[in-house]
Amino acid sequence: MIDFLSAFFTSPVMLGALFPALLIAVVTSSMSMMVLAHRLSFLTVGVSHASLAGLGLAVTLSLPLLPTAAVTAVVIALLLALLPKRQGINEDAGTGVLFAGSMALGVILISNANSYEVDLFGLLFGNILTVSEQDTLWISWGSAFVLFSLMIWARSWWSMAFDMVTAKASGIATSRLRLMLYAVVGLTVVMCVKLAGIVLTTGLLVLPAACAWFWGRSMLSLWLLSLSFSIIGTMSGLMWSYQYDWPSGASIIVMLCLCFLFSWAGAWLKQIKSR
Amino acid sequence: MTAPVVHLSHIRFGSDKKPILDNLSLEVEAGHFMGIIGPNGAGKSTLLTIIAGLLKPSAGHIDLFGKCLNSRTRQKLQQDLGYLHQAQSNQPDIPLRVYDVVAMGLSSYHTSLLTRLFQDKKHEKDMICHALDLVEMTNHQYADFRNLSGGQQQRVRLARALVRQPKLLLLDEPSAALDSRHQEKLYKLLRKLCDEKNMTVLMVEHDIAAITSYVDSVACLNKNIHYHAKKGDTIPDEVWREMYGDHVNIVAHDASCIGCTPVAHQPTHQSSHEHHHD
């Protein structure tokens, strides 16, 4: 075990991946509380798949991948926030339409690019082991922005999730804050793509808070638990990935799913015991 | 002379053909406790949401605390307003302590986490405890809000509306989930807040008999104010029939009841002013 840990922590590939992976774990665990409270799981699915259009654009126009995908994701998230309200269709259907349309556009754009330019498997399922210095810098700035947003608006977002009507009647700018929330969720989704890929990103934005939901009693306790589950899942997932040469993103998601199962079983047993 | 707390002038809401509120005018002074009654679909909740600044009327003018309510002034005016909407059946499943739910009613709750480091939390705590004390929920302040009964949750929501000590309190069927003992306590509390704190309360209720000894006046609403009965006034039978239709049977309460005609041969203390024929 000690040999394994020593090999893991001295591996240059893993050392390069550890910082961005843990940074993403901190950001996603914090945002996952808002995703669950505002019931935005499907939005994260939609935005992550729609970001393929951004990646396709970046490949076609030779633009930097992550920033282009981030701008696309934020624009799509804002459209999803605005479109249903303006056009009288529900958010669920709006997400479905934009999700399918932009994913289709992404597939067409990427299929026209040279195959050696695009690591399609990496885009779909993530590969933090291939993270570049530029990607790390980009993830760091993105994380700083998301965490700063949370420091400013977390309590208002929380209050809106609990009771939107009363929050609005209290004099909070709920429409503006909702747009900010969607934009920050869009940005977080793109940051996760490097780690978990388009297909698995939702897991990172749902599972940490879902594990904590059974035990949290306040925003602070929920955040601390969510952060703990996220870091445990990320570290153990990366170790699994290193040990068995499994894809890193999928290993982390499987580990978080196991955490969820244990957490759920624990809560269930506690409930039975208290009867 | 001080401006009225609420001044509504020719308010209209909804489509031209089927308006929900039509040509509604109303003035309420500080410290006044008004009950609003009316049949389902009469526009009672819509009226409260318009006064709360959540809906914009199609026509008409609203002044709150002497200032025009519009998109520029809305957030500022809402600082002096407490609003309790109808209890929802699909409550969000969010882990929250009762204390935190009440704290959400304070403006300081919505400041950034950085600003909160330098805030006076003692004053905030005192205000929350006072609000919880008013609704007799102090013992539950650390309980999980989701585990409370419907009536307890309603009392916590009321504490959230009261915690900022608003000048105007808008309540939409606040007694819906409460038992009769807590209903009476609620009305007594509201009466006390009007008398001692000069708070103005507009409360939508269905049961006029329950509120009549506490309120200063009762507004009969069905698209507009059909009748505004002050203490000692009698609501004419035709107003009841106009609002609820011909199928209601008017019964009398005691002499102090707003809008009631004391009738010698009628038994006193009926449970409700309107009786539907089976």
Residues B3 and B123 in one domain: no
Domain that holds residue A56: 2-199
pLDDT, mean of residues B100-111: 92
Judged by CB atoms closer than 8 Å, whether chains meet at A159 and B104 is answered as yes
- Yes or no: say if A207 and A258 are a contact pair by the CB < 8 Å rule: no
Structure tokens, B151: 């009536």
Judged by CB atoms closer than 8 Å, whether chains meet at A152 and B107 is answered as no
Is A172 touching B (CB cutoff 8 A)?
Answer: yes
pLDDT classification of B268: cutoffs 50, 70, 90? very low
From chain A, pick out residues whose CB is under 8 angstroms from the CB of B75. Answer: 171-173
Q: How far is CA B244 from the centre of its chain?
A: 21
- Its pTM stands at 0.86
- Yes or no: say if B34 and B218 are a contact pair by the CB < 8 Å rule: yes
CATH of residue B46's domain is 3.40.50.300
Tell me the pLDDT tens digit for each residue of B232-243.
Answer: 677 777 777 777
pLDDT of residue A212: 96
Tell me the pLDDT tens digit for each residue of A154-167.
Answer: 999 999 999 999 99
Tell me the pLDDT tens digit for each residue of A28-61.
Answer: 999 999 999 999 999 899 888 888 888 888 888 8
Tell me the pLDDT tens digit for each residue of B49-85.
Answer: 999 999 999 999 999 999 999 999 999 999 999 999 9
Residues B30 and B135 in one domain: no
pLDDT, mean of residues B119-145: 92
- The ipTM value here is 0.84
Residues B75 and B115 in one domain: no
Tell me the pLDDT tens digit for each residue of A101-115.
Answer: 888 998 888 888 765
- CA-to-CA dists, residue A64 to A57, A99, A134, B146, B232, angstroms: 10, 22, 10, 47, 77
Among the partner residues A153, A169, A172, nearest to B52 by beta-carbon distance: A169
- Per the structure, the count of domains in chain B is 2
Residues B106 and B119 in one domain: yes
Is A163 touching B (CB cutoff 8 A)?
Answer: yes
Tell me the pLDDT tens digit for each residue of A228-267.
Answer: 999 999 999 999 998 898 888 899 999 999 999 999 999 9
Residues B173 and B154 in one domain: no
Distance from CA of A165 to the nearest CA of B (A): 8
Residues B135 and B203 in one domain: no
Domain that holds residue B122: 94-165
- Per the structure, the count of domains in chain A is 1
Mean pLDDT score across all residues of chain A: 88
| Cβ-Cβ contacts under 8 Å for A226 (sequence gap 6 or more) | A29, A30, A32, A33, A208, A209, A211, A212, A216
Residues B142 and B174 in one domain: no
B35 beta partners = B203, B218
B109 lies in some domain: yes
| pLDDT of residue A197 exceeding 90 | no
Residues B143 and B212 in one domain: no
Judged by CB atoms closer than 8 Å, whether chains meet at B83 and A169 is answered as yes
DSSP A166-200: HHHHTT--HHHHHHHHHHHHHHHHHHHHHHHHHHH
CATH of residue A195's domain is 1.10.3470.10
Is A260 touching B (CB cutoff 8 A)?
Answer: no
